[in-house]
Amino acid sequence: MKKEETGAATDKKIHIYTNFKGVDYAHAPANVSPHRSVNGLNMVRSEVGKVCKRTGYEFDARQWTETVNGVHFLVKDNETICLVHSGSCFYADGEIIFDRANNHRSTAVQMGDKLYILDGADFLVYNGSSISYLRDEAYVPLTYTGRSPAGGGRQMEQVNLLTARRCEGFVADGTSKVYNLSQPQLDSANVTAVVYRDDGTAYTASDQNGLVVDTVAGTVTFDRVPPLSKITDRDNVFITYEKASYEDAGVLDKCTVMAVFGPGGRPDTLFVSGNPDHPGKEWFSQPGNPAFFGIANTDTAGSDSSPVVGYSTRGDRLFVHRHNNERQLNILVRTCSGGDSNHYSYPVSNALQGESAVSGQGFVNMANDTLFLTAKGVYAITKNDATQDHITQLRSFYINPRLEKLDLSQAVAVQYNDFYVLAVGRDIFLLDTLQKSYETDKEYSRYQYECYHWQLPVAVQLLFVQEGRLCFVTEDGRTGRFYTDYDNPHSFNDNGLPITAIWQTGDFTAGITHRIKNIYRLWVVCAVALRTGVSVQAQVKGIWKELLQDMTTGRFFQWSEIQWSKFTWSTDRTPKLMKKTVRIRNIDKTAFRLENSNLNEPFGIYELGFEYITGSYYR
């Protein structure tokens, strides 16, 4: 057996990092892919395979003195109106328009040219100029048609939960003064009647003028006989009265969860839930009429002991997310089974097993996936390739170890460009839906999204997107807006504070941990900017040592941005190579950290490389 030379060294080799993806908190540094970072703080994709420092943010001049419970938007007449719910008030473009709101987290959806709002105490509607109670705009249904003065007829529309008022249509016989309503025990004598004459004109009578109302018997007596209907079975008398239909008339007001869905997936029906008195119950409006919630338009999502946390939609399916069902069937699937203009039904067609949603503000319908937040990460609702059944799959594998240590109950998420953006206090996590990782060791999932991690100096309470900018509201009522101009160095500060951007590789062992490595030459290719630089450090036997610091090579000259301490005459705006001869000897492994923590400096990475040789056994 030939004995190996213990001092023998191989030829010089090159190792290059060039295809940069996201962070990886799920693996030990020794097992992290060379494409990912074990600590990629405040970095984001600049283009697929490259990363750069995130932009910073600025604060609005105005600071809200009370808790901001919601930021909502109404798009009407090609204009976007920003509605802020702070404390007990709603502000439209900064001016108070409503001061009787509940000081509670609110949710809102737009249908048509109105915004429908739930604040936990009232169901509100905003029309672009004022806010009113939805019950004040409630549709009055025609519950009967074709009735004779003595009764009969056929049922028409359902009673509306939003109002006690309803209408019945009668075919006048030309002789009767007394008309019998379908309901006795009226709530009040507040009754009106509209009577149509032969010529098509109409007159109105009321309990104050022309009618005598018996609220107990449910009869209405006219002081003059309504004329005979000249068209057989054509209603010509319409009587409107009040009769409560539900023991809790404010059952919809207490809801906190809302979605837009409808037959065939059309966004024309409001679904609401989250009433603490009826945790698992849902109600839905008539298609195209959010002011009409028929009394039969309700269902219980499985068990009333499993509260509805939120909704998500995908095609012609409505997914009802419940909290911790005893059999882990936490997502019910509703589909429309058809109907007519008076009544549609949305029975449960399936139930999905998996983790329950943990935050009502964590639902985002991305182009590729329907995403929601659980205590065990961000999951997607997708289809099984073989059976075409809907299933849930994990999408946040790489950041899950961090997410699982945080309280996610108040987390908020939005879609920003191609990113699912999740804010938890000072931490912001981004899932990049343009970059999918198809790997075999991720639990029950076809792919994972590349992820990025930001940290802010302030804690985020709300997220929203306005005029193409990612925005947030802090716990103390300040509104921050991230910059979008990556070419402007003044975009790279957090309200005047520098941003620390780090990209740290996993452990480099050259695949032979048991032999020593000697590193002799290092280089990095960075994006150019008016002001930029990089510090490159290496981990040597557990201690970080700076190998290279270059704050001028990556700059280019521009008179308006001269900084004499980092002056350059270069006008080259292509990525710049920065290099240095180094001596790292007799190591078994190392890792590299690229950092820029300077105020108002962008930072982009294209390549990191070094030359090395391997030698004898590591001792």
HSE, CB side, 13 Å, CA atoms: give it for residue 531: 21
- Position 7 scores a pLDDT of 44
Give CATH 2.60.40 domain extents, the chain: 142-242
Q: What proportion of the chain, given as a percentage, has pLDDT over 70? A: 93
What share of residues in the chain are helix, strand, coil (percent, to 5)?
5, 50, 50
Q: Which structure tokens are listed for 200?
A: 């098509």
Closest CA to 182 of 222, 138, 142: 142
> In the chain, which segments carry CATH 2.60.120.260?
13-55+500-617
Which whole number is the average pLDDT over 234-248? 91
Number of helices and strands (H, E) in the chain?
A: 1, 45
CA pseudo-torsion sign 406, 409, 410, 416: positive
Q: What does the alpha-carbon distance between residue 285 and residue 160 come to, in Å, rounded to a whole number?
A: 9
**Among 165-169, 247-251, 485-489, 530-534, which stretch is predicted with the lowest mean pLDDT?**
247-251
Check: CB of residue 524 under 8 Å from CB of residue 578.
Answer: yes
CA of residue 443 relative to chain centroid, distance: 24
Amino acid at 70: G
In words, the CATH class of domain 13-55+500-617 is mainly beta
Q: What is the structure's pLDDT at 198?
A: 85
Q: Which two tokens stand for residue 91?
A: 């502000």
Q: Give the burial class of 386: count Cβ atoms within 10 A of its Cβ; 0-12 exposed, 13-18 middle, 19 or more buried.
A: exposed
Secondary structure, 3-state, 61-96? EEECCCCEEEEEEEEECCEEEEEEEECCEEEECCEE
pLDDT for residue 530: 85
Residues whose CB falls within 8 Å of the CB of residue 202, separated by 6 or more in sequence, listed in order:
194, 195, 196
Give the count of beta carbons closer than 10 Å to the beta carbon of residue 350: 14
Q: Does the domain at residues 142-242 carry the CATH identifier 2.60.40?
A: yes
What average pLDDT does range 471-479 have in this prediction?
A: 97
Contact 261, 316 (CB under 8 A): no
**Half-sphere exposure in the Cβ direction for 317 (13 Å, CA):** 21
In this predicted model, what pLDDT tens digit does every residue of 70-102 receive, in sequence order? 999 999 999 999 999 999 999 998 899 999 999
pLDDT at 363 over 90: yes
Q: Which of 186, 175, 127 is nearest to 150 (CA)?
A: 175
DSSP code at position 400:
H
> Which residues are registered as beta bridge partners of 610?
15, 522
If one compares 20 and 561, the residue with the highest pLDDT of the two is 20
Of the candidates 421, 343, 537, 562, the residue with the CA atom closest to the CA atom of residue 54? 421
Range in 56-60, 157-161, 558-562, 609-613 the model is least confident about: 558-562
Q: What is the band of 341 on the pLDDT scale with cuts at 50, 70, 90? A: low
For residue 171, pLDDT beyond 90: yes
CA neighbours closer than 13 Å in the CB half-sphere of residue 204: 5
For residue range 187-238, what is the model confidence (pLDDT) as tens digits?
999 999 999 998 889 999 999 999 999 999 999 999 999 999 888 889 999 9
- Residue matched to tokens 């097992």: 31
Read off the pLDDT of residues 410-436 as tens digits, 9 standing for 90 and up. Answer: 999 999 999 999 999 999 999 999 999
Mean pLDDT, range 138-157, rounded to an integer: 96
pLDDT band at 562 (very low <50, low <70, confident <90, very high): low
DSSP codes, 186-254: -S-S--EEEEE-TTS-EEEEETTBBEEEETTTTEEEESSPPPPPSSTT---EEEEEE---SS-TTTTTT
Q: List alpha helices for 340-433, DSSP H.
A: 400-403
Percentage of the chain exceeding pLDDT 90: 78
CA dihedral sign of residues 203, 204, 210, 215: positive
pLDDT category at 1 given cuts 50, 70, 90 is very low
Report how far residue 156's alpha carbon sits from residue 161's, in angstroms, rounded to the nearest whole number.
16
**At 86, phi and psi to the nearest 5?**
-125, 120
Are 469 and 484 within 8 A, CB to CB? yes
Which phi and psi angles does 308 have, rounded to 5°? -80, 125
DSSP code of residue 255: -
Q: Say whether pLDDT at 176 is over 90.
A: yes
Measured in Å, how far apart are the chain's first and last C-alpha atoms?
A: 23
- Answer yes or no: are the C-beta atoms of 280 and 307 closer than 8 Å: yes
Of the segments 248-257, 382-391, 452-461, which one has the largest average pLDDT value?
A: 452-461
Determine the Cα–Cα distance for residues 328 and 413; give it in Å rounded to an integer.
24
Which one, of 322, 334, 350, lies nearest residue 297 by Cα?
A: 334
Give the side-chain half-sphere CA count within 13 A for 555.
Answer: 22
